[in-house]
Chain A
């Protein structure tokens, strides 16, 4: 039926399920940062932070760029916006459908009342 598949549905939300990764996104929302700086900020090893950033990068939420020996991370918000927009579109479709359904059900109720209810209780 009329359905649109959500783009990148799972990756983003898997990425957002972790509090450290949400913290990283919040931090990058204020300013770009290197992996080393993020590791310090979140009290973890560079290797650990690299993994988190990898997950975020895979989900399109963060982009990284290596300049010399420093890998700088910044927000790659686009897909998050896409996804939120997708969900919102989907909800609006259903809200609109249900509003029309209300009318149909109201009409059925009126008909039933007019024709006498078939109560079985």
Chain B
């Protein structure tokens, strides 16, 4: 993994890297220009989290965002997109301040996705690694059809228009 060194800090946006590490796992890596305690705060305080989790360009409204960030605590996010609402919810499995967060994603009937986020501070910057483990192929294929609202097509369009500013690979 290519690591940023001191002196490389620039006002330009840092690079977001997505890697597939196995059949059912995706890893997102990104350096954030700030200490781990502040980055962790932005991931664990609902009033901060809701400001960045759904990018403004996506046309989704976050109606509510409840996060009980402790082991066994629940989160629940409710979105509105045009006439439909969708809820996303799950349970925190691990909460290690400034270092690690693990939660499940349980809204599908078809099995859980487990997300593990680690925060590693280096020279005032924080390397954030988001690891998603999807359920098995069958579960995933079934789940994706159900969990995907009709809004998906519109999201596609929005995403396509997001193109500028995002490097391809």
Q: What is A's interface to B at a CB cutoff of 8 Å?
A: 1-11, 13-14, 87-106, 108-109, 112
Kindly list the 9 A-B residue pairs having the minimum CB-CB distance in the complex, ordered from nearest. Answer: A10-B23, A96-B55, A5-B144, A100-B52, A105-B34, A95-B16, A91-B18, A101-B52, A108-B38
Stretch of B1-9, B91-99, B130-138 at the chain-chain interface: B130-138
* Identity of the chain A residue whose Cβ is nearest the Cβ of B25 in the assembled complex: A9
Q: Main secondary structure on chain B at its contact with chain A?
A: mixed
Q: What is B's interface to A at a CB cutoff of 8 Å?
A: 13-14, 16-18, 20, 23-24, 26, 28, 30, 32-34, 38-39, 41-42, 48, 51-58, 60, 75, 77, 79, 88, 90, 105, 113, 115, 128, 130, 132, 134, 137, 140-141, 143-144, 147-148, 152, 156, 159, 162-163, 165-166, 168
Q: Which residues of A sit under 8 angstroms from B140, Cβ to Cβ?
A: 5-6, 9
Q: Which residues of B sit under 8 angstroms from A95, Cβ to Cβ?
A: 13, 16, 30, 165-166
Contact A2 B38 (CB under 8 A): no
Q: What is the CA–CA distance of A102 and B125 in the complex, to the nearest angstrom?
A: 11
